[in-house]
Every structure is written in C-alpha cells, then in structure tokens.
Chain A
Amino acid sequence: MTTAVGAATRPLVSIRNVSKQFANGTIAIRGVDLDLRDGEFVSLLGPSGCGKSTLLRIIAGLGAPSAGTVEWPTASHDVSGEAHPDHGFVFQDPTLMPWANALKNTMLPLTLAGVGNGEAEQHSAEMLALVGLKGFEKSYPRELSGGMKMRVSIARALVTHPKILLMDEPFAALDEITRHKLNDDLLALWWQNRFTAVFVTHSVFESVYLSQRIVVMAARPGRVMADLRSEAPYPRDALFRTSPEYAHLCRVASGTLREAIAA
C-alpha cells in the first residue's frame, strides 16, 4: 500500500447513496457510496451501461444526482454553501475547439477564469511541454494525431493544477501502442503532480496497470460491486505488465467484473 491512501482523515470527495434516474425512467446508478481520498488513483471499471460515466459527470457537477449527496469536505464553498471544487475533466473525445491552436485550447480554463493572456500563455506552454507537445503550440487540432489531441485535452484539464482529474475513457479510441504510451505519461504526470485521478474504463488491463484502487461496477441498475486495492508500487513501467503481481490483479479484477456482468 502506498502512503497516499488512508493517510488523510477527511476524503476529498464523499459520495453518499447517490442515485440517478433519467427523465425516461432509466435508472443509471442506484445507491452509490464512495469516498475518494486525496492523491489516489482510482479506476471505475465496468461494462457499458453500468453508469460509470454518469457517476463521473455527477462528481464533476455536470448534472445533479436524483438522490444522495456529493460532498467536498476540503474544497472552498461560496456564501450559498455550494462547493467550488477545482477539477479537470477529460472527455472520451479530445473535445478541442477546432478554430483554436493547441496553446489557445490549453489556455481556455485560465481565460475563462479571467487570467491575463501573458500569464495564461506561459502556464499553458509549460503544461503542453509537460505532456510532450513542446513545439506544437501553434498547431491546430486537425494537424495533430489522435494521441496528440488527447494530450492537449489532458494539458487543458491540468493547466489549472486541479486537485482532481476526472477522465471518461480518455484513451478508448486510441490504438494500443499509443494507449500504452499515454498510460505511462499519465502515470508520470500523476506521480509528479499528485492530483487525485478518477479514471473511467472498461479495460481490466488498463485499470490494473494504472490504479491503486479499482471500483468495479455492475449494470442495470449501475451500482458498485467491489472496491479492489492494488499494493503494486509505483513507478510502474512496461515490466509491470509482465509481473506475476499484474497477472494476479488482472485475474482478480476480471473475476469480479465477470460477476458484475452476470449479476
């Protein structure tokens, strides 16, 4: 077990009995309880339709839960008592503005927060360099490969140095080689910056490779089936993928996922 988990007494996010029912009656998730701790890397693993993306969006504040609460005990609150957590969000698609170059896209959260152009440009250029895109600041999205667009998307999410990075199957559309590379780079960014990472995926291997904690979800209605912990140390690299520990974790996670699908 790494030190980050369990060290803090108060969780960063406290999700209590959260349910979401859509207008058409579909119950996306029911009765989800989950605490996310500062600095941990958590994967939400489950079959499609298990509500993992819905849960992620609720954590992000995009759409309120039908029942239950999402609390941010350590975040700043405004006068009305509404929490203002600082989070970054990475969508399944890069979701870049096609009319803006990589730098302008990365700057967006700072621009919206009223940060001056010069300062925003400097921070954004640094962040682009961190995700391996130095020299591509002036490139437009259409000039970049799928993997590079995803890097811009990650740079944009991290440019405000958020406490929590929420990712909704960010690498699902990429080829395996690019995905492995981006997994490694994401881990390095997380290791250096120590934000809390919540990573939605349907890949057992990806979740085991990345996470300290794998929350397995079942569908119809979406609910948490198991909360698995991984003791494997970081930094993890390609060798980890061939280790007995990795194989063992994959077996456990696959088994739980199979139960979740059957349930």
Chain B
Amino acid sequence: MSEVAQRAPLPNPPPLAGEGRIGAHDGTDAEARPVFAEERRILGVRASSWPGIIAPLVIGILALTAWELTVRLKGIPHYILPGPLLIAQTLWNDWGTLSQSLLITLRITFAALIAAIVVGVALAIIFTQSKWLEKSLFPYAVILQVTPVVSIAPLIIIWVGDINLSLLICAWIVAFFPILSNTILGLNSADHNLINLFQLYRASRWQTLRYLRLPAALPYFLGGLKISGGLALIGAVVAEFVAGTGGSASGLAYRILESGYRLQIPRMFAALIMISLTGIAIFFLTSWIAHLALRHWHESAVRREN
C-alpha cells in the first residue's frame, strides 16, 4: 500500500498513529519474517565456503613440496623418511593388499558404529524412561568409557575367541558412549512448555517420545554420531594393533605393524594415510547426514542475514 493510499479519504474521527494497519499489508505480520542468506554457488559449493577449501589445500601442497624437496636435497633414506611421491607410488603399487585391509577395517568400523547407534540410542531411551535404571546402570557405562580399550582388548580377545567379534566389541566400547550421553542429554532437553502441552492433551509416554523427545534429541544425537564415527575407526585400529593377526584377512593396523617389522616405511605411511583419509571421509559423511537432517530447522544448520 502506498503512502498516498493510506492517507486517502479519512474516516471520522481519524485513526491515531499506531492504530492503523501499518506493516500489515496482507493481513498478517509476514513482513517481519527473518531473512536468510541466499548465496551464489560455485560447483555446488557456497561462494563464501571456497576460501575455506582453497586455503588449506594451498598449505597442504606447499608442505608436501617442502617435504619432497627436503627428502631429495638432504638425501634422506626412504626407510627413515620417504618422500610424498614415493608414498603415493607405494599406495598405487600396493593398492591390492592395502585396499583389502582397508575394507576389513571399514567393515569393523561401520559394524561397531551401527552397534553403537543401536545400543546407545536404545539405552538412552530406556534410561530416560526410568530414572532408577539410569542411576543404576549409567556409572557402568562411564567405567566402560574411561577404561583404555588397549588395556582390556587382550582380555576380550581371549574371552570371545572369534577375532572379528573381539575387534567389533573393542571398537564398539570406544564408540558408543558419546552417542549414549548425547542422546540422554537430548531426550531430557525438550522444551518444558512443550512437555506441558503434551500433558495438557493427555499424550501417552510413547506419543511424547515419538513426537517430542526423539525429535528434540536429534541434534544432540547427531553431535554424538560425529564424535563416535571417528572413535569407531580409532577403536577398530587400536584393537587390530593389539590383536596383531597375520595373514591376508588383516586390517590396516596390521599392515602398519608388518611394514614396521620389515622396514617398509613407505608402505607404513601409505597405510597411515589411508586411515587418516578414512577418518576424514567418516567425518564428512556424518556431518552431511547431520546437515540433511537439520537443515530445515536447527540453528546450527541455518545462516541468518544480520
């Protein structure tokens, strides 16, 4: 509505300032809605995100170049420190063995992560339904968490017998606690007015869980998942180190041990890099899942125009 139209034929008596329909053109207060940043995208990535991608890449390339040059100019033997080019070459040449080991480590990592999600979320739900169960069992979850997995891995391997299952249990012990504690926190942090509202409508326990507590816990759970994804990998690798199984069906950690014994240092680096890259990939995967799940509503996934 234009200024002129608003002042057109005045009723008698005229409305006072502030009494008119200022800012209510369409009958709602829609004009006061928040504004969100709409950004140009380059190759599907926000324009403002590119410096965050390019800058570390440049640093990485510079560091690798300096490494290669140092190794070459100083004539450092490859069994002390191999250059990045030699490592890349080893990665290429040994891909058959290494990729098989990677697959084994990945299998344990993801099995452990899934077990951590299932057990962590289930325990969190049970704990928040019964304070007594939480009080009686939570301390043991903490004990499980604070005991270094390296120190109990040999016991687990002896007791369980099956090596893959032992590795899975070790990785699970490391991975499940962040999911458990974060999900408990999330389930307990539903808005108390919303809880009152559910009481008002006589919602059942199950309805309150399904429509209120679980959605409210989602951001917390996903935060825990990001931590647990990395921990599952660390747990799997640490357990493999302790187990130290030989043969073809061994994970990346065993390849590192093996290369150490045989002074195949380039291969050791190659395996190490594969573990790091796997960790990074898991982090991006869990972050991406969190983004997809929260992008519509959670503050962490929203960019506001100030």
Contact = CB atoms under 8 A, between A and B. Distances in A.
Interface in A79-118: 87, 89, 91, 93, 95, 97-100, 108-109, 111-113
A242 B15 CA distance: 9
- By size class, the interface of chain B is 35 or more
B199 A62 contact: yes
B194 A95 contact: yes
B295 to A, nearest CB: 10
Nearest to B215: A99
A230 B68 CA distance: 89
Contact of B193 (A91, A132, A144): A91
Interface centre among B32, B197, B211 (most CB of A within 10 A): B197
B28 A112 contact: no
B296 interface: yes
Contacts of A113: 201
Nearest to A153: B197
A62 B192 CA distance: 12
Interface of B: 13, 15-16, 18-24, 27-34, 36, 191, 193-194, 196-203, 207, 211-212, 215-216, 218, 296-299, 302
Given A99-B297, A112-B203, A89 B218 contact: no
Interface of A: 60-62, 87, 89, 91, 93, 95, 97-100, 108-109, 111-113, 132-133, 136, 140-148, 151, 176-178, 180-181, 238-239, 241-242
Contacts of A89: 196-197, 200
A112 B199 CA distance: 10
Given A140-B296, A143-B33, A62 B215 contact: no
Contacts of B197: 89, 91, 95, 108
Given A112-B202, A145-B34, A97 B15 contact: no
A145 B33 contact: yes
A111 B211 contact: yes
Nearest to A101: B296
Interface centre among B22, B23, B31 (most CB of A within 10 A): B23
Contact of B23 (A108, A144, A148, A177): A177
Contacts of B207: 112
A255 to B, nearest CB: 24
Interface centre among B193, B199, B299, B302 (most CB of A within 10 A): B193
Contact of B13 (A61, A108, A109, A242): A242
A113 B207 CA distance: 10
Given A87-B200, A112-B203, A136-B28, 18 more contacts: A61-B200, A89-B196, A89-B197, A93-B193, A95-B197, A97-B212, A108-B197, A109-B201, A112-B201, A112-B207, A112-B211, A143-B33, A148-B28, A177-B24, A178-B23, A238-B15, A239-B15, A241-B19
